[in-house]
Chains A and B, each alone.
Chain A
Amino acid sequence: MAPDGTPDLKVVGTRPIRPDGVDKVTGRAQFGADFQLPGQLVGKVLRSPHAHARIRSIDTSKAEAIPGVKAVMTAADMPEITSEEAFVGEGPADFKDMSGNTMARDKALYDGHAVAAVAATSAAAADAALAAIEVDYEVLPHVIDVEDAMVEGAPILHDDMFTSGVDPKPATPSNVAKRMVFELGDVDAAFGKADIVIERKYKTAPVHQGYIEPHACVAQYAADGQVQIYCSSQGQFMVRAYVAKLLGIDISEIRVTPLEIGGGFGGKTLVYLEPLAVVLSRKSGRPVKMAMTREEVFRGSGPTSGGTVWVKVGAKRDGTIVAGDAVLKFQAGAYAGSPVGPGCMTAFAVYDLQDVRITGYDVVTNRPKVAAYRAPGAPISNFGVESAVDELARELGMDPVELRLKNAAKKGTKAAYGPTFGDIGCVETLEAVKDHPNYNVPLEPNQGRGVAAGFWFNIGGESSATVNINEDGTAVVATGNPDIGGSRASMAMMAAEVLGIDVERVRPIVADTSSVGYCFLTGGSRVTFATGMAVVEASRSVVNELKARAAKTWDIPVDAVEWQDGKAVPAGSNAGDFEPLSLEDLAAKSGRTGGPIAATSSLNAQGAGPGFGTHLVDVEVDRETGHVKVLRYLATQDAGRAIHPSYVEGQIQGGAVQGIGWALNEEYIYDDRGRLDNPGFLDYRIPVASDLPMIDTVVVEVPNPRHPYGARGVGEVPIVPPMAAMANAIQDAIGIRLTELPMSPPKVRKAVDEQAAAEE
């Protein structure tokens, strides 16, 4: 039974064909770069070749004189914004910083930082214009590594940045934007009770979200000041809000139409090109289309943080973990705002641990400003903690799954970040691993098995949905969330479940900002939960209206009508003897019974159910080349209730694969001048199908009581455990603990050589 009391779900939990599938496999779907407007110009961005430089002046006169060039812009064409924080996108946004990241004003802070933009009638003219812009730079010392940026004497990126969270307030600027401490219980006393203490430092590399579709948009600024933006993003309302704020335009003047999105993973919860395209359109009087190249995506858009993770874990001889301590140093890129906060809160969240302390540092460096990436911050701290717990299991001589089961968070556990957990499925995911055949497959020499568990909060938030009943009894469900992970299907399925009709009779659409109520962006694994609740509420309102129309038709009270299997029926023999009225019947006569049938729901969903997952991987290490081959991979996860199980499995598989790439290969390589050496998929190696085995999944269902059907978010958790699981498997295979990502062939080979030298 679903939490809402629905005894027998007919649509939820099935696997219908995805409503956007045909468009996508036939190439008919319009992604960001596919959209065109008549008379559009080509917009391009000039980017800094320096990691850190003061901009003395920018002369655009020669560029403006080139035939075909219709507009040239710099930061001087955008309002100068004073510091103001707000929470519109995925993290607390400082609009001064956001404006500066969109277009450098006084300083270029990383290789690839936008410094000017042009719009021209052809790409060739735009390229010529970029080449003709004269920027006078004063090159400054730069800093790339997070710990280098923290030392006294490091090049300072922002003269007005003073570390917050320390007492007394510092008198000198620093690259450390913030220090934070989470603390529960008495950590030092708890370590005194430990029989075994593991203490080690780990390091992760910044990695890009790796979405296949580069950022792209078309903007049109009309003579009356109305703005139309067509773009791929993780939230059309987010784009509208950010562009309005950055350019000083009323929100009512901006309409954003979402195009298909070819991956985002958090990286499209920001704006980069949209404000520039609007300015260029305003200056030129023509629509302007802008699209990043892959190189620009790497140089100019956000990766997630890299960081260092110092972990100390203490346990009793029987395997009871009694204390945890960690220090996280996350690089934020050029502006403050790394995900170190959630990194701290999630670090020990899979464990029942009452004495815990995590200290976090948010540190700026001369790299692109970080953006959200699935479960922001959690994979980094998890890599350290879950590697340390694996070492603990080895010290104790315990099976790593049994050690986790002994200490796993469960209903009633006080989370290591504070609140008491309700219904959660951490234990169930661990047991699913134990029950899976992969857990007992015999291993050969140089093969190893690793396990790690992970957590993410999941979120709710503001969502709207409109359900319209058409004259023929079909339905349209309109929401305002771009479909990244299958939300069209899940919205249609939940509406069909409530309406009692086939899901094929429900057409889900992703509406523009002027056609549906406000929706917070698609991120944080919130859409199936929060927007799904809006869809269910709107659908229930429609059902109530359908019952009212039947009551009118039969001249009986509305409470004498019930809705069963898509039909209005008398509630009992006392209500009268009437033939059921189907949704089609009622829709066909809606004009004569009160007019069109439609309902809208807008809500602010709270109580998203926390998510847990456990991953088990087998690897084989080639000691000669350092290559790590993934032999088997199992990911188990609590989905609460899988609305469309295929999409849930796809989310889990995708997260696992991205985590494998993070573990084994992905990293930014900078030269000694701070310029990115590998801004392309040839040299920035993400996993491809031939690198991987089938990613096996087990979906555990511990219903979230706050959702009508029990759903909880699934998109974040699966990227949390893979890095530690891989490191633990490599340790199991070759007896070497690798503590720094990526565990690429050169590093593995070096570690093997050092091991051999030590044994001689």
Chain B
Amino acid sequence: MARIVLTHSACRQYTGGTAELESDATSIRGLVRDLEARFPGLGRQVEESMAVAIDGVMHQDDLTASIPEGAEVYLLPRIGGG
């Protein structure tokens, strides 16, 4: 079970304001599926517009990354640069 933290209003709008969730997903792809099933629209939002920090390591456009048991997962807006 991983702890999923939504710091951004772009995600919280799908959860009715809930900022923390739990998920059994073991990969980002699984997390996207899980979130979409529980909060329609959130999975797509995460897949298309968010970065996923798993235990502090940022992932973007990477559905294959593993989510370890007990991981701390933050959903954040995607990051670019100049």
Contacts and interface: CB of A to CB of B under 8 A. Distances in A.
Given A181-B8, A456-B81, A524-B82, A607 B76 contact: no
B60 interface: yes
A180 interface: yes
B24 interface: no
B60 A266 contact: no
A625 interface: no
Given A167-B13, A180-B10, A459-B81, A422 B57 contact: yes
Nearest to A167: B13
Contacts of B9: 165, 179-182
Contact of A266 (B55, B58, B77, B81): B81
A342 B13 contact: no
A341 B77 contact: yes
A339 B72 CA distance: 26
Interface in B24-82: 48-49, 53, 55-62, 65, 72, 74, 76-82
B72 A419 contact: yes
A345 interface: yes
Contacts of A85: 48
A303 B55 CA distance: 35
B21 interface: no
Given A183-B19, A420-B55, A345 B78 contact: no
Contact of A457 (B48, B59, B61, B79): B79
Nearest to A423: B56
Given A167-B13, A183-B19, A460-B60, A373 B65 contact: no
Interface string A215-240: 00000000000000000000000000
Majority-rule SS of A interface residues: loop
B59 to A, nearest CB: 5
A92 B49 CA distance: 8
A345 B10 contact: no
B7 interface: yes
B5 interface: yes
Nearest to B19: A183
A459 B82 contact: no
Contacts of B72: 419-420
Interface string A6-26: 000000000000000000000
Contacts of A90: 80-82
A459 B80 contact: yes
A184 B56 contact: no
A459 B53 contact: no
A420 B77 contact: no
Interface of B: 5, 7-10, 13, 19, 48-49, 53, 55-62, 65, 72, 74, 76-82
Contacts of A179: 9
Q: What is the size category of the interface that chain A forms with chain B? A: 35 or more
Contact of B79 (A462, A524, A604, A706): A524
Given A372-B80, A607-B59, 13 more contacts: A179-B9, A180-B8, A339-B80, A342-B77, A372-B81, A376-B80, A419-B74, A419-B76, A422-B57, A459-B79, A604-B62, A606-B59, A607-B58
Given A417-B7, A418-B7, A422-B56, A87 B78 contact: yes
10 contacts: A209-B82, A339-B80, A345-B79, A374-B82, A419-B74, A419-B76, A422-B57, A457-B58, A459-B79, A606-B59
Top 6 nearest A-B pairs by Cβ distance? A524-B81, A266-B82, A419-B53, A90-B80, A418-B74, A374-B82
B80 A523 contact: yes
A608 B59 CA distance: 9
B81 A716 contact: yes
Contact of B61 (A92, A422, A604): A604
User: Which of A167, A418, A462, A604 gathers the greatest number of chain B CB atoms within 10 Å?
Assistant: A418
A745 interface: no
B36 to A, nearest CB: 18
Contacts of B7: 182-184, 417-418
Nearest to B12: A181
Contact of B53 (A418, A456, A461): A418
